[in-house]
Chains A and B, each alone.
Chain A
């Protein structure tokens, strides 16, 4: 990928001429800026990027990034992106999708994209609400949540996107707060490097219909104690004073304080994002206080697009028929004179 003719891009090269039309204060602006800043750092040419989306607020995303893009139909972004990637593996294919788009109407494509492990990066804008249709509960809305379609409280238990993704055999799952552009950029760059389906869940605040949904994790006053940023090979330590950590207590994760009850830093779990076994990753994905951010799982395996290419090459070398004319004339044929 080292290319001496590679143009040097700045974020402005990835801003389209379209006026951005999300609500003022929406986290989507932050994610857009993070992408526009991360793309120039990926060592790729501008024309190699493709952004595909479904329907929803966040699905307007491709219009604002000056690359190739398609604003698809509701729920189908993962399937459209699959076709793009299978057609041309050289492309860096991104999906921008919301919790309704990917986990409700497009749930089937979401899990099968992950199962196949196609080298696509999916940004899951999870705001736990339906924004574009003006405030109905989504598949990630909390039990009891009052929305326009659940005025007496939601009685449909939510999906945990991380649990669903890892349960669908996700090889790369990360979570980032909607307002943290630094973490977003770092994770997007890692997601692009990762060969396989990368799912990045954004805890995205909807200022209109579900404002403050993630304040318990992201509010300046609490965020250090409410977020555990995990890094591969590093101990799971967090907290304002960096004195809190995670240990395994039986079959559960437990928050402990270093220096209390004889707990030392050596007792704290060290994050292994490359562990194939999903048990601990699932526990981390489901942990809610603190909420885990960063790259929870990154286990490289052969991708489906790679296997497809290998299969074609293998068949080329073994093929009985080298041209379609040979195929048409093969087998039982007969002459009429």
Chain B
């Protein structure tokens, strides 16, 4: 929280990070979402990140049942949900215990003092009540009897105790609204709409929200409420969107733009399932959404739907991509357009299902039998998941090849403002479906476009173009089965060349910050927010530092060498043990690469990045 001097009785801050934490049943996700949306409606830029346990309803009061939602709001461009928390709202001792390390001394902690019973204190693993031991002395601790006050405020509504306690989160939200001068109307309208058939629920939540707000005002929790001014964002109509929804919508846009129906074959897996959830809501657009019996059926049916002429996609996370690898090879061999979305999570094996990581890069690039090249691209923010889902579809359809789109748990679940796009704003997609009229003489399923090397797409139901494809090696041109040694080598090289040629139709690698100089920071995918924030702030301070962030990984933009050669040092930063570092070493061995990695299931901290980069710059 960067404070500015102000003589007004309302103090102005540039940005603030608030984290709401409680039991997984305490409604922390709803509380955080309400705060974010209300702030966005005031014109703040925002970034949010939910943090929930893998247990659905872990036992109450335990540290593994703690659920959280962090929101970063600001008056200037916000690229991450923030590292250090300015205000922590903890609904019980376990939530405090799990999150205290994210709060720096001097910052504010609001606790529900009613929840600090000896039983809860013990469950959280505290020996004594942390509110009285003095261990929180370095923080500004606001102890509010939230449970009692909520029950008191809504006692006339007619709910039982258990139901009454569900409104505690709104009391807490009311307090925070006062602290940051937020209006209540958005949240009030939300309840009226959402629970239109449950008047008691509406009344209880609105009363609790107002009671919290008034409580904060009466007690003057802070010397004065704070204001976060609107951000200077590009004019337009915005909405808050998370990466998974943006991904789903990018495919809807691509289907409409290409004139094809969308087919999704998918098996539920965290953290990718929300894409399936979103698409099944919109079958009216001709979407065929098929929940398959397993990951393999998910992609196999996708290949079938692609053969039959759909924009066919499948969605998964790391373990699911492993299961799909054989079928991906079939899509490579049959040269059919499919998109595989991998919302990465911590691995190997089941790993950290609800935590983020970038450790499936090498799997996406190389995790198949045989020489099996596929296009690999990565989205880098929640909102540009829309653009890269669209781009993945376009590349698949125009180049007749599978495309793997990498996102990750961090951007998939994180939210940010999205300047709403229309289908007409998006580039054209020219798929390669043909009819007999397009064919002179005998139909040759493995003839190729001379520019892209893509083969034609003749779909079942088209008279005169009956043909057979499959996983056995294809003879060039005819597509018949061929075991000829020279043909195999030729076809292997053709399939590679087809993917390589995609480089002709992708944008150059851009550099943020310094365009040449001492240090080039290299990243890819979902780490853009923290890396850009770090590099940008250092560059503004006059440091010779630039950021080259990759969205296109296979093939890479054509100007990579050019970019790399303009800096004295290069550091590759990833949330894995150095996979992109390995790729760059192999591809552009003439450069020397340092690496900076984090494998904790967590995003980069901006501060850690800045420290690391400064250390390198100081050692020059």
Which positions in A face B, CB cutoff 8 Å? Answer: 16, 18, 45-53, 55, 62-63, 66-73, 76, 79-88, 90-91, 108-109, 112, 308, 311-312, 315-316, 318-319, 321-325, 327-329, 331-337
Contact = CB atoms under 8 A, between A and B. Distances in A.
B235 A91 contact: no
Contact of A91 (B237, B302, B308): B308
A82 B297 contact: yes
A114 B305 CA distance: 19
B286 A71 contact: no
Contact of A46 (B265, B285, B466): B466
Interface in B314-364: 326-327, 329-330, 334
Interface stretch (B16-24, B150-158, B417-425, B570-578): B417-425
Chain B interface: which size bin? 35 or more
Contact of A337 (B235, B287, B301, B469): B235
B307 A70 contact: yes
Contact of A328 (B265, B296, B309, B421): B421
B422 A325 contact: yes
B234 A333 contact: no
Most chain B C-beta atoms within 10 Å of own C-beta, residue among A52, A81, A87: A87
A328 B460 CA distance: 33
Contacts of B312: 83, 87
14 contacts: A63-B468, A68-B460, A69-B468, A71-B471, A72-B303, A84-B305, A84-B307, A109-B293, A112-B297, A312-B288, A329-B237, A334-B237, A336-B236, A337-B235
Q: Which 4 A-B pairs have the closest CB atoms?
A: A83-B304, A71-B470, A83-B301, A79-B300
A44 to B, nearest CB: 11
B293 A87 contact: no
Contacts of A327: 249, 252, 282
Interface stretch (B36-44, B64-72, B374-382, B523-531): B36-44
B421 to A, nearest CB: 7
Contacts of B106: none
Given A82-B301, A91-B308, 15 more contacts: A16-B468, A47-B460, A50-B460, A52-B304, A68-B466, A76-B300, A83-B305, A86-B263, A91-B461, A312-B286, A318-B284, A321-B284, A323-B423, A328-B239, A333-B237
Contact of B238 (A49, A316, A334): A334
Nearest to B294: A108
Nearest to A17: B480
A48 B253 contact: no
B301 to A, nearest CB: 3
Given A79-B300, A332-B239, A319 B284 contact: yes
A110 to B, nearest CB: 10
B284 A312 contact: yes
A271 B256 CA distance: 51
Nearest to B421: A328
Interface string B248-281: 0100110010000101010000000000000000
A187 B327 CA distance: 32
Interface of B: 37, 40-41, 43, 186, 230, 233-240, 249, 252-253, 256, 261, 263, 265, 282-288, 290, 292-294, 296-297, 300-310, 312, 326-327, 329-330, 334, 420-423, 459-472, 480-481
A334 B330 CA distance: 45
Contacts of A91: 308, 460-461
B304 A79 contact: yes
A211 B259 CA distance: 53
Contacts of A76: 296-297, 300, 327
B445 to A, nearest CB: 11
Contacts of B310: 87
Nearest to B232: A336
Contact of A321 (B186, B282, B464, B481): B282
A90 B304 contact: no
Contact of B330 (A73, A84, A331): A73
Contacts of A55: 471
Nearest to A330: B239
B304 A84 contact: yes
A80 B470 contact: no
A36 B226 CA distance: 79
A71 B468 contact: yes
Contacts of B463: 45-47
Contacts of B292: 79, 82, 112
B232 to A, nearest CB: 9
B294 A311 contact: no
A335 B310 CA distance: 36
A86 B301 contact: yes
B430 to A, nearest CB: 19
A79 B472 CA distance: 18
A296 to B, nearest CB: 25
A182 B435 CA distance: 36
A47 B466 contact: yes
A67 B468 CA distance: 7
A24 to B, nearest CB: 20
Contacts of A63: 468, 470, 481
Listed residue (B284, B286, B309) with the most chain A CB atoms within 10 angstroms of its CB: B284
A317 to B, nearest CB: 8
Contacts of A334: 40-41, 43, 237-239
A325 B327 CA distance: 34
Nearest to A74: B326
Nearest to B249: A328
Contacts of B300: 72-73, 76, 79-80, 82-83, 109
A84 B308 contact: yes
Given A72-B470, A336-B43, A87 B304 contact: yes
B54 to A, nearest CB: 25
B209 to A, nearest CB: 18
A291 B34 CA distance: 67
Contacts of A84: 304-305, 307-308, 460
A235 to B, nearest CB: 40
A214 to B, nearest CB: 29
B299 to A, nearest CB: 8
B239 A333 contact: yes
A39 B164 CA distance: 68
A336 B233 contact: yes
Given A82-B297, A321-B282, A327-B282, A47 B462 contact: yes
Nearest to A16: B468
Contact of A86 (B253, B305, B460): B305
Contact of B288 (A18, A72, A86, A324): A86
Given A63-B481, A68-B468, A324-B252, A88 B308 contact: yes
Nearest to B260: A87
Contacts of A324: 249, 252-253, 256, 282, 285, 423
Interface centre among A18, A66, A70 (most CB of B within 10 A): A70
A13 to B, nearest CB: 10
B294 A73 contact: no
Nearest to A21: B481
A331 B239 contact: yes
* Residue from A83, A91, A332 having most chain B Cβ neighbours under 10 A: A83
B302 to A, nearest CB: 6
B323 to A, nearest CB: 11
Contacts of A109: 293, 296-297, 300
A25 B306 CA distance: 37
A326 to B, nearest CB: 10
Given A82-B297, A319-B284, A321-B284, A336 B234 contact: yes
A191 B37 CA distance: 56
Contacts of B309: 87-88
A184 B342 CA distance: 44
B241 to A, nearest CB: 9
A80 B284 CA distance: 24
Contacts of A332: 37, 41, 186, 239-240
A55 B327 CA distance: 13
A66 B423 contact: no
Contacts of A81: 304
